[in-house]
Structure 1
Amino acid sequence: MTKALALISGGLDSILAAKLVKDQGIEVIGICFKSYFFGAKSAEKMTKQIGVPLEVVDFSDEHLEIVKSPKHGHGKNMNPCIDCHAMMMKEAGKLLDKYNADFIITGEVLNQRPMSQNKSSLNVVKKESGIGEKILRPLCAKVLPETEMEKEGLIDRNNLLGISGRGRKVQMELAEKWGIKDYPSPAGGCKLTEPNYSIRLRELLEHVENPSERELELLKYGRHFRVSEGCKVISSRTAVEADEIRKLVNDQDIGFLVKDFKGSMVIIDGESSDKDIEFAAKVAGRYSKGKDEEKIKVIYGEYAKPYNKSIEVKPASDDEIAEFIIS
């Protein structure tokens, strides 16, 4: 029986491609690559809807190196889509023998994304993956050259599609026909496509050559301020963000609370000076109910212990916020 590995991002296109091939009587196994910037939850949810098993492959460290310095550059934000796709194809190629599979399926659509899915970019991915002849793009196969799998009769080209361009009408009609629901927006699962996250990541990489998973996770939440080379102040925007930040703090972090007013959660991440502590206290005041007070008292200390220190400051001004805020 013919067998294929389907790269499943968790988005609609990849799941439609897998379903299209499965409906030809081909056994399909989903492969989801997990990194610091995207996970597997959506892929797990989507594959259940079409009855395809899923294997999750963690390539976080290897992917981070590509994000730092992609051969083909970043997209609009910090997303190195061409290099990322080529890497996924290459890693999937290594799994063909493990699963005794014949070829690889991807949900790419010609010209859907102007930079990473034009004909030139698809050919770059095909070439640099090292397994170009094993790649099938079922959603746009009819507007691409015939593959070896089609020529050999492993799959019927007549039952593949010829979608091209940025429109989503065909995909949405297929989703409705096949009962596929609750799918995310395109690229919705990758943090590297988000402007604010990308700004913070770029800034972090300017100061930290090899950031930890914790540092990368913290970038997802709150307001970030660079106060010195090795020190950042982070202030939560919402109660939900505060809960997420609490999961990531450690014994070395310094926490801040405004004594008589409710406010955001504020921490210092990194080695801090007296000046850094003063600014963090001013940030705590700025994002508290006491932001209009002339002076406020802020207590602080190591996060895991009772806060046994205090400082009186004036809440940070607009100019002070603008000077240090990253995003």
Structure 2
Amino acid sequence: MTERKVKAIGLISGGLDSLLAAKVLQDQNIDVLGISFATPFWDCEMAVRAATEAGIPIRVVDISHEHLEIVKNPRYGYGSNMNPCIDCHGLMLRVAGRIMEEEGADFIFTGEVLGQRPMSQRRDALRSVEKLSRYEGIILRPLSAKLLPETEPEKKGLVDREKLLAIRGRSRKEQMKLAETYGLKTYATPAGGCLLTKEGFSRKLKKLLEIMPDAEVRHIEMIKSGRLCVIGDRAILFVGRNAADNKRLDTLTSSPEEIRLKVLGIPGPRGILCGGYDNDRIELAASIVAAFSDADPDDMVTVELTKEEGIETVTVKPIDRRRIDTFLVR
């Protein structure tokens, strides 16, 4: 009988470290499957392209709903913005563990480098991530393995520890040399593309969750597809910035409690009013949407309102643009 190949499931972000981790294991004739996780907060396109060019099989797994719940209430808190890195990594490893079991694989691996990121890649943080994952002892970090406790796959001889690495810190010199060795040219920049680390996006998300703690994944997409205005302490208005935003917003309204707004007869944005509102808030929302249209500031504008009970119109004067900053979250 032919001996079964060792198989590992790895987190592939599209960054250089995760690609190198996979290549180090492939050098040991280990069968690797990369997993890239889809959420509203980052794009998997680079991960898929980089892994494919590097000869690493990859699968995209959507964890949007699970991830949003963790963003709302992280056990280990946030980084400098709304990024719950430890909880996020724990979730991804937990899901990777489920895939490992389904695939009959032997262990999980990541591209984490000891000491590279101050919040999520300290020794204690790595241990916390393992506890959250529920797969303690079978998570291998090939780039820093020689600096970390021996894992079960190493103890069992599934991986040769001597062929693993001992990289630490924020310098990228060793990784860049390895990239040349493996011929890796396509990968994401070290800064990453997670929106939760961005100050402006985090301000909008924080405000959204303050007013709408039960916000859904589609509301996160609305933040990405338009301006966010806070109307009082209970209502949120999303306003498109261009034709692409308008088209996207039109696809995101599904709740009967939300109102769609559109200026009639004049080029302008779409609006979506969410949360708690009354007639005064609806009229204010219409005047804000009108202000972002091509209407003359002194003209009265007709705004179409699409509600659960049907379509109606309201005629408003565009709000003074100087007042918009009192509602707009930047």
Common fold, TM-score beyond 0.5?
yes
Among 235, 249, 253, the alignment partner of 2:259 is 253
Corresponding residue of 1:287: 292
- CA 1:314–1:98: 2 relative to 1, 3 Å: closer
Q: Is contact 1:75-1:81 (8 Å) kept? A: yes
Corresponding residue of 1:267: 272
> TM-score normalised to the size of structure 2?
0.85
Q: Give the C-alpha shift of residue 225 in structure 1.
A: 0.8
2:90 is paired with a residue whose SS is: helix
Structure 2: runs of 5 or more not aligned: none
Tell me the distance in 2 between the aligned counterparts of 1:265 and 1:173: 50
Q: Is contact 2:301-2:317 (8 Å) kept? A: yes
Structure 1: runs of 5 or more not aligned: none
2:316 is paired with a residue whose SS is: strand
Tell me the distance in 1 between the aligned counterparts of 2:158 and 2:174: 25
Among 179, 187, 190, the alignment partner of 2:194 is 190
Among 119, 122, 125, the alignment partner of 1:118 is 122
Divergent runs of 4+, >6 A: 303-307
Q: Give the C-alpha shift of residue 118 in structure 1.
A: 1.3
> TM-score normalised to the size of structure 1?
0.85
- CA deviations 1:108-150 (Å, max 9, x no partner) are 1111111111122112223343322111111122332333433
Q: Is contact 1:77-1:195 (8 Å) kept? A: yes
Corresponding residue of 1:211: 215
The 10-residue stretch of structure 1 (269-278 or 155-164) with the greater mean CA deviation from structure 2: 269-278
Q: Is contact 2:47-2:187 (8 Å) kept? A: no
Structure 2 residue 58 is the aligned partner of structure 1 residue 23: no
Tell me the distance in 2 between the aligned counterparts of 1:72 and 1:130: 16
Q: Give the C-alpha shift of residue 21 in structure 1.
A: 0.8
1:24 is paired with a residue whose SS is: coil
Corresponding residue of 1:323: 326
Tell me the distance in 2 between the aligned counterparts of 1:175 and 1:242: 42
Corresponding residue of 1:9: 13
How many pairs are equivalent? 324
Residue identity (%): 41
Tell me the distance in 2 between the aligned counterparts of 1:241 and 1:177: 43
One-letter amino acid of the counterpart of residue 264, structure 1: P
- CA 1:237–1:169: 2 relative to 1, 3 Å: farther
Tell me the distance in 2 between the aligned counterparts of 1:212 and 1:137: 34
Q: Give the C-alpha shift of residue 264 in structure 1.
A: 3.5
Q: Give the C-alpha shift of residue 15 in structure 1.
A: 1.9
Among 273, 277, 283, the alignment partner of 1:278 is 283
- CA 1:311–1:45: 2 relative to 1, 3 Å: same
Q: Is contact 1:256-1:280 (8 Å) kept? A: no
Q: Is contact 1:279-1:316 (8 Å) kept? A: no
Among 67, 70, 78, the alignment partner of 1:66 is 70
Q: Give the C-alpha shift of residue 265 in structure 1.
A: 3.4
Q: Give the C-alpha shift of residue 39 in structure 1.
A: 5.1
Q: Give the C-alpha shift of residue 189 in structure 1.
A: 3.8
Question: How does 1:1-327 map onto structure 2 within 5 Å?
Answer: 1-38=5-42, 40-186=44-190, 188-250=192-254, 252-257=258-263, 259-260=265-266, 262-270=267-275, 272-290=277-295, 293-302=297-306, 309-318=313-322, 320-327=323-330
The 10-residue stretch of structure 1 (56-65 or 117-126) with the greater mean CA deviation from structure 2: 56-65
Q: Give the C-alpha shift of residue 2 in structure 1.
A: 1.7
